[in-house]
Amino acid sequence: MRLWIILLLVVVGVFALGMAARLAFAGTPPKAGTMAPQFSLPSQEGNQVSLKDYQGKWVVLYFYPKDMTPGCTIEAHNFQRDLDQYSKRNAVILGVSVDNADSHKQFCTKEGLNFKLLADTDHKVSQAYGSTMNFGVTEVAARNTFIVDPSGKIVKVYTGVDPKVHSAEVLAALDELEKSSSAMR
């Protein structure tokens, strides 16, 4: 009986290590206070979108694993729901995953999304932002968000976000950041 329990514990331990390896994260996200890595990626409309296009605005740059999956859909719906609130704060939402532009187009059409989703099919932007993770043999974007200020500097970093409450967290952070920047002027 004891041998059976030991064998079971070994199997469970090996399984747990295997799962941890499948969800391994790659890279370190850039820190708040550093300039945001520049990029240019195709959107769901097929147009190139660059970070520099949004100079003078707050940018909420969020990375997510996969179009049309439950957590990613919840997160996208919440950003969509709050788009007017972001607009009032002079902020734009840019979503990034390693899915292609056609997948993004289908996701936006199906879910009624009106903000830009960017296709990082070569994973370079996700890697530059320390936002990749290995899921089995597939590399996907990790659920991280960066708030970039109007001058292009990262001012807030979120890693491993909860998609259910994340949009509200970001809106609250933008309010605090705006208060801080107003106080410094």
Q: Is the pLDDT of residue 4 over 70?
A: no
> Catalytic: 72?
yes
Which percentage of the chain shows pLDDT scores above 90?
77
- Does the domain at 27-184 match CATH 3.40.30.10? Answer given as yes
Q: What is the pLDDT of residue 17?
A: 35
Residues 36, 72, 118, 148: which is the catalytic one?
Answer: 72
Q: What is the pLDDT of residue 81?
A: 98
What pLDDT digit, counting tens, does each position of 11-49 carry?
Answer: 334 333 333 333 444 579 999 999 999 999 999 999 999
Q: What is the pLDDT of residue 7?
A: 42
The order of strands in the sheet holding 25-26 is 25-26, 132-135, 138-141
DSSP notation for 84-133:
HHHHHTTEEEEEEESS-HHHHHHHHHHHT--SEEEE-TT-HHHHHTT-EE
What pLDDT digit, counting tens, does each position of 117-167 carry?
Answer: 999 999 999 999 999 998 788 899 999 999 999 999 999 999 999 999 999
**Domain ranges for the chain:** 27-184
Distance CA 174, CA 185 (A): 17
Q: What is the pLDDT of residue 137?
A: 82
Q: What is the pLDDT of residue 36?
A: 98
What pLDDT digit, counting tens, does each position of 82-111 carry?
Answer: 999 999 999 999 999 999 999 999 999 999
